[in-house]
Structure 1
Amino acid sequence: MEEERKDIILNSDMGAKVIDVLHLIYKTYHYSPKFKRKIQTLADNLQVRIKTPSRVKGTRWSPHTEKALKNLLLPPQGKTNQDVGQYCIVHQHMEHLAESSANAEIKGRAKHLTKIMKSFNFLAYCHLLLDILKVISSLSFSLQTNKTILTTATSAIRSCMTDLTTMKTLPLPNGALVDLIGFLKSQNADQHTFQTVVLGGVPEIAADDDESTYDNFSFGFRRNCVTEPLSLVVDGMKKRYRSIVGEDDHDEPSKIVKALKVFHHDSWPENDLDLALYGNEAVTSLVAWFEDILLRNGCKTPAVLPEWKRMKVLSTRHDLIMGVVPDKGAIRHRQNFLMLVKIMLCLPVSSAKCERTFSTMNRIKTDVRSSLNITTLEDLIRISGEGPDILGFDPNSAVQKWLSTSRKVKLNYVGWPENCEDDD
């Protein structure tokens, strides 16, 4: 999902400005212990618990940006945006540096941050960006789970694209931007503040205005900060997942991926006649594509299509897997078609599992265990990645088997000497 985030940053003026501000804040306090100590002293005097500004230009852009925005915008626990928070602390310290710093670079940076942090458009876009990253992160997490299959991944991607497209017209319900507009509307004052920072350029917000719309924003804000960035995200997702969402079927692998989606019952037609004809060509193409694998596993390929037709009639709108495997008798009568289903269940939708496997290998094969046998290492990786959860594992059977074995491996551990005298 990093590509969608790059589209927001590199092709949106306001997005680039937000990242620049977050990076300058991180740079100011990360490379200067003096400034970090001063802002902590300021926070202690105001009895505010602040978080260390995090970087945004890391390898994982989306999580880093989301964390940096939350650290800057969200109020401390137990407080609201009406109270002093980290946004106010950073702004006050930048005002102090803009007046007292002898370094021209630091002074210019502080003046720039002080001015832009008072802008309502900047603050509103930060909250909108937080909502966008929330939707994208939700999709990213769902694609990284081991239980995600092709059909559920397709539904998750389409749902994410629908949410982002809807956000062009309406803000995310219960999102950060809606909370910001609701907070500013509740002030009913000539001067609007956010964590005691006086904002400039705030539009008129009447008490009866609906905060769940963009009606209070200017046309330029809606075009440059809402419509264009969201269009870039959606277009980027369509380009990246075109073979999964059905936007591209020019090459044969993309056609096969599209054909596998007929197993998802949500796409089945309601009409009985349409249902009888639905997916027949797709199943035929799948049998031809995976013919070698099916034949090696004893599949009778001519029987797959008739089993598919019978399964549609008997399973109707129920869950596919529960419908085709209700009992052992059904498995025996549909075992040829089930091989196609098993192939669909085995197809990975992301490389997250491979990345976790490499992390597991690095965690197991450390410097002090560098002489592990390849077979042992592979077994340990499989146990760690595919084995049961440690809390649900019962070791009694393994212990009893080891105790009942005549030949036991003797572990020659060297204990620590009991009478160990100090070198002193």
Structure 2
Amino acid sequence: MCGEWNGLQALFLEKCPYAYYVHCFAHRLQLALNVAAKDVGVVYLFFQMLTSIINIVDLSTKRVSEFKSIQEVEAMEQIAAGELETGKGANQTCNLQRAGATRWSSRYYSIKNLMKLYNSTSSVLKNMIDNGLNGKIHGEALGASKALRSFDFAFCLLLLDKTMKITNALCKSLQEQSQEIINAMNLVSSMKGHLKKLREDGWVDFFASVVSFCDAHTIDAPDFSARHMEGTGRLSQQQNCVTIEHYYRVEIFNAIIDLQLMELNSRFNEQTRELLILSSALDPRFDFQSFDIDKICCLAEKFYPHDVPDLNDLRDQLEHFEYQFSELSEFQDLCTISELCQEFVNTRTPFLLIERLVRLVMTLPVSTATTERAFSAMKLIKNRLRSKMSDDFLADLMTVHIEREIVDAIYSNSVIDEFYASGTGRLSQQQNCVTIEHYYRVEIFNAIIDLQLMELNSRFNEQTRELLVLSSALDPRFDFQSFDIDKICCLAEKFYPHDVPDLNDLRDQLEHFEYQLLKMASLLGILVQNGGFGLRSLVICY
């Protein structure tokens, strides 16, 4: 993954020997928690059964509809009993969330949803057992229901919800767009402290929550003071004489937390990351409590010799800064290195080498989440309909997408006004002195309409229009109001000369027809009955 020998890291170091590789913290956390989930047998079986339960419930639209109906009934009962509060957007129905293979936080949300919808899920499985169409559905639902209502499953459900809630906070922080490496290491240390505190002092409260959960959902709990029996329960197979409570506390509760701590210590090893340890000497929290001149000089000497060539000047600046930062109010109550760098810029202090070193430490990456999001967005920007997009245009669009927080604060009309006012960049090249409103009205609004009219006039030519106008003289609507002998004769002469060779005979017939129109009441009656609209009705009557 690191590409240390023939991968991307090796290519970077070949071009720039002074570059430093920092493994993505979010990926490290993902690897650590994945190992912790697979190496404990009970946890591995729990996730397998969790996936199976979700797949069974969400397999068909009928089950999903039944699942939501049960949620609605339960919500109405809880509201009537005063257990739920009503409000806009509250008590919405939802589905069970599937756990992703690469996103550990999705497993936490999957567990969280199941805890919230535990009764609804149990009711759906019970209905499938009672009304299953075949033995396969009945058997799958029966196995999932037994697992769901077992004490081992409930114990792991609450334990992983507790531990993963702690790790999820770090996971979300590491995926933020701006995250400093020292702050990330502080978050890792804080997470380790929470897990250690849970292991040492959290068993009593956690055990009480498990018992309360089992009582609320009518799950049979074992006698915790009884002896734990391994294997098939034979006395010859029992190696240790321990109680059931001791088994759940030591073999599951402590084992899961210990394995997570071990993986976190091995993958986030501060002792082996000298760069991170030395960088922590610049941490401004608690009034520069970690400030250490020797560590900072060692950091510059080992990792940034070309950026800070004179260590004596750096040491002098650090000594002056150490003496003055307690008196400078601007440097009080700082929490991050980025805030420290901003104060250096705002106050324009003479500590240029310290400011440069702070900027270099800020460039150390913590997570590749932002980069991965940018690559994912590239598929949306450069799709199959815009596959011939140039690289420059793609780079501009990607910049706007990545820095969308800055772009959202820019008023679009101000950009349009500035762009139009600039033209090609020289006032001497502006030919017309017009307002922006005039430009959009004349050059765009009027131009588009004029072009459409021109195209319509060219495609619907005079000859076609004349044919339609002359044909309208045969329109029988409104008692032949449009009837015109001259137009009909002109129509026959211009467009149908071979079909009507004798125009005099046509004119005589038209005159007789016009004279007899008032007497042809039957014809008009039929026309009215048939709708009396158009030439087709006239042809039908004849």
Which secondary structure state, in structure 2, belongs to the residue aligned with residue 169 of structure 1?
helix
Q: Which residue in the other structure is 1:198 paired with?
A: 218
Matched, 1:306 2:316: yes
After superposition, what is the alpha-carbon deviation per residue over 1:134-188, rounded to whole angstroms, capped at 9, x for unaligned? 1111101111222211111111110011111111123499x9x58945855xxxx
- Once the two structures are superposed, the pairs formed by residues 327-338 of structure 1 within 5 Å of their partners are 331=348, 333-338=350-355
Contact 1:325-1:331 at 8 Å conserved across structures: no
Q: Which residue in the other structure is 1:63 paired with?
A: 105
From 33, 38, 54, give the equivalent of 2:97.
54
Aligned residues: 371
- Once the two structures are superposed, the pairs formed by residues 7-406 of structure 1 within 5 Å of their partners are 7-40=35-68, 50-56=93-99, 58-74=100-116, 86-98=117-129, 101=132, 103-171=134-202, 180-181=209-210, 183=212, 193-194=215-216, 197-201=217-221, 218-242=245-269, 246-248=270-272, 254-266=273-285, 278-292=292-306, 294=307, 302-316=312-326, 318=332, 319=334, 331=348, 333-386=350-403, 388-406=405-423
Contact 1:324-1:330 at 8 Å conserved across structures: no
TM-score by length of 2: 0.59
CA drift of 1:326 comes to 5.1
After superposition, what is the alpha-carbon deviation per residue over 1:323-353, rounded to whole angstroms, capped at 9, x for unaligned? 6775779645211221111001111111112
Distance 1:360 1:110, change over 3 A: closer
Contact 1:143-1:349 at 8 Å conserved across structures: yes
TM-score by length of 1: 0.74
After superposition, what is the alpha-carbon deviation per residue over 1:372-399, rounded to whole angstroms, capped at 9, x for unaligned? 2212221221222235444422345422
CA drift of 1:67 comes to 2.2
Q: Which has the higher helix share?
A: 2
Which secondary structure state, in structure 2, belongs to the residue aligned with residue 333 of structure 1?
coil
Contact 2:32-2:260 at 8 Å conserved across structures: yes
Which secondary structure state, in structure 1, belongs to the residue aligned with residue 360 of structure 2?
helix
Q: How many percent identity over aligned positions?
A: 14
Contact 1:193-1:199 at 8 Å conserved across structures: yes
Relative contact order, higher structure (CA 8 A, sep 6+): 1
Q: CA RMSD in A?
A: 4.0
Distance 1:303 1:24, change over 3 A: same
Distance in 2, Cα, partners of 1:46 & 1:142: 35
Contact 2:344-2:355 at 8 Å conserved across structures: no
Distance 1:16 1:287, change over 3 A: same
Distance in 1, Cα, partners of 2:344 & 2:295: 28
Contact 1:97-1:107 at 8 Å conserved across structures: yes
Distance 1:307 1:369, change over 3 A: same
Structure with greater Cα Rg:
2
Distance in 1, Cα, partners of 2:106 & 2:342: 44
Structure 2 unaligned spans of 5+:
1-28, 77-91, 226-242, 425-429, 431-438, 460-542
Distance in 2, Cα, partners of 1:269 & 1:328: 18
Distance in 1, Cα, partners of 2:176 & 2:254: 31
Contact 2:275-2:299 at 8 Å conserved across structures: yes
